[in-house]
Amino acid sequence: MPHISSVQQARDQLTQYERNRRDERRRRQFWQAHTWQTYLQQVITAEQERDQAFQQHIDELHLNSSRLPVIDEQFYNAIEEDITWYQERGRELERLRMSWSLGAIGTSADISEVVFHEYLIWKRYHERCVHLAQFAIERQERIRRRYGYLQQDTWFHYWQDVRTVWSEQDQFFERAYPSRLPEDASRDEQAEYEQSLTYVQKQVATAHGKRLDWCQVIREYQTTTQSRHQYDFFDASGYQSDVAQVDQAIAELAPSEELRSPSDGGGAGCIGMLVVAAIIAVFISFATAAQQSPVSPATAPTLNAQGMEHLRAGNCSAAVPLFEQAIATDPAFYEPYNNAAFCLYDQGQLDTAIDYWQRAIERYPNSADAHAGLGMALYTSGQHETGLNSYRRALELEDHYWDENWLRENRFWSQQAINDSRPLRVAIGL
């Protein structure tokens, strides 16, 4: 694999230097914080060079090449390994800080230094999570270009993952914002506050700028794909829906002139000590919370998947609260609306189920399952023509909605839903 060895060498060097921090004698003789940050920057640089080598290899391969899926998978696995490595390093620093705090080991400056290094590690962790989710979308776009279509809802699932990691990265930066100063703050305190605020704002602006650049690249790639498939089979409906999601993100990310900020390259370079001190002060609360709860909070897709386990088992009473939690975690994620609607329908809450299916379709207009469920519910409520039209739309998107066995085994419809939707299939088939 390209440049994998140099990444490992850089990490080994940082790990070796990190040992000096833990030994009191070696910490006095050999330890310097700026050297640690230099080693971290070397790790980041090695990762960037490896990423560029992978991307160049992918760009040079033909879409039909048997090597492309192999390189894709190697690249994906490499980023996953990065994420695991940063997560392990972050937790190691958390444990070190906690043990020093409890055992009165090291000076307050030593502990503050650990906290700031935690910040740098977790910052890079979130950057790699974003890269992994975005790379999954890039893989989907290559598949679309090769075949002219994607499996139903697959692209949107990966897009929700992108939205989730963007949100988690924003939450990370929000925790790093300095607390508001009291009215009687001194000039030095005010200067320190302004410097730390500017530093975090630049980090946020850089992250958002990278997102915007990536979205624009994806959008251009989509446009080129459409032009290549204008004379053969092309899933125009799915394409338009996916394009709309990217266009929406571009509109959201486009900055006003006063918010534009030069990129700092995403590295771990030196910044002013006043800024470091202020970042440390506000990051302590985040690092402590992370130590107390080392497992990341459940994301909307995770909660939705947990709900689906109960839905498949026929336990809607347990499934609905999980779907509701998923909705609260990420209101833009359409799947829990659709899944909750089926449970609510089976529980006799017809009006609420209709509302949830409508909200699912608002978020993802090409969900065949939501159109089918809504059609069934509307038909049951007496709105026969509207219900039939909605079910017809489901069949346009996915013709398996004729097949009751498929609904049961692949979409996990209850027997009640299958029975209640049968009149629609009969009416449409006449």
Regarding whether 310 and 276 lie in a shared domain, the answer is no
Mean pLDDT, rounded, for 37-53: 94
Regarding whether 211 and 67 lie in a shared domain, the answer is yes
Regarding whether 328 and 276 lie in a shared domain, the answer is no
* Contact between 147 and 129 (Cβ < 8 Å): no
Mean pLDDT, rounded, for 12-38: 86
Regarding whether 69 and 211 lie in a shared domain, the answer is yes
Measured between alpha carbons, how far is 336 from 327 in angstroms, rounded to an integer?
6
Residues 6+ apart with CB under 8 A from 202: 261, 262, 264
DSSP state for residue 230 in the 8-state scheme: T
pLDDT at 1 over 80: no
Q: Is 270 helix (H, G, I), strand (E, B) or coil?
A: coil
Opening angle at CA 417, ends 413 and 423, nearest 5: 130
Residue 178: per-residue pLDDT: 58
Regarding whether 339 and 402 lie in a shared domain, the answer is yes
What percent of the chain clears pLDDT 70, i.e. is strictly above it? 84
Regarding whether 201 and 95 lie in a shared domain, the answer is yes
Mean pLDDT, rounded, for 332-359: 93
Q: Cα-Cα-Cα-Cα dihedral of 75, 80, 82, 88, to 10°?
A: -170
Mark which of 292, 325, 358 sits at the end of a domain.
292
Mean pLDDT, rounded, for 329-356: 92
pLDDT at 109 over 90: no
pLDDT at 275 over 70: no
Measured between alpha carbons, how far is 343 from 307 in angstroms, rounded to an integer?
10
Q: Which of 202, 75, 47, 46 is nearest to 134 (CA)?
A: 75
Q: Which of 203, 46, 200 is nearest to 127 (CA)?
A: 203
Residue 261: per-residue pLDDT: 42
Measured between alpha carbons, how far is 95 from 398 in angstroms, rounded to an integer?
51
Give the DSSP per-residue string, 19-56. HHHHSHHHHHHH--HHHHHHHHHHHHHHHHHHHHHHHH
Give the DSSP per-residue string, 55-88. HHHHHHS-TT-THHHHHHHHHHHHHHHHHHHHHH
Regarding whether 248 and 107 lie in a shared domain, the answer is yes
* Contact between 2 and 50 (Cβ < 8 Å): yes
pLDDT at 258 over 50: no
Amino acid at 212: L
Alpha-carbon distance values, 58 to 129, 142, 195, 211, 254 (Å): 20, 10, 41, 21, 29
DSSP state for residue 232 in the 8-state scheme: S
5 versus 363: the higher-pLDDT residue is 363
193 versus 68: the higher-pLDDT residue is 68
Regarding whether 200 and 103 lie in a shared domain, the answer is yes
Mean pLDDT, rounded, for 344-364: 94
**Domain range for residue 353?**
300-429
Mean pLDDT, rounded, for 105-112: 70
**What CATH number did the domain enclosing 398 receive?**
1.25.40.10
H-assigned helices in 61-186: 67-103, 108-147, 154-176
Q: For 186-190, 218-222, 337-341, which range has the lowest pLDDT when averaged over its residues?
A: 186-190
CB atoms within 10 A of CB 318: 14
Regarding whether 92 and 55 lie in a shared domain, the answer is yes
pLDDT at 343 over 70: yes
Mean pLDDT, rounded, for 24-51: 88
Alpha-carbon distance values, 282 to 113, 203, 273, 285, 295 (Å): 13, 15, 15, 6, 21
pLDDT at 26 over 60: yes
Q: Band of the pLDDT at 353, cuts 50, 70, 90? A: very high
CA atoms within 13 A on the CB side of 112: 13
pLDDT at 266 over 80: no
Mean pLDDT, rounded, for 304-319: 87
Mean pLDDT, rounded, for 327-347: 91
State the average pLDDT for the chain: 83
Q: For the whole model, what pTM was predicted?
A: 0.64
**pLDDT digits 0-9 by tens, 158-216:** 898 899 899 888 888 877 765 566 677 777 777 777 777 787 788 888 999 999 999 99
Regarding whether 132 and 84 lie in a shared domain, the answer is yes
234 versus 48: the higher-pLDDT residue is 48
Mark which of 292, 326, 351 sits at the end of a domain.
292
Regarding whether 376 and 256 lie in a shared domain, the answer is no
Number of domains in the chain: 2
Mark which of 273, 292, 311 sits at the end of a domain.
292
Regarding whether 140 and 12 lie in a shared domain, the answer is yes
Angle between helices 108-147 and 187-228 (to 10 degrees): 10
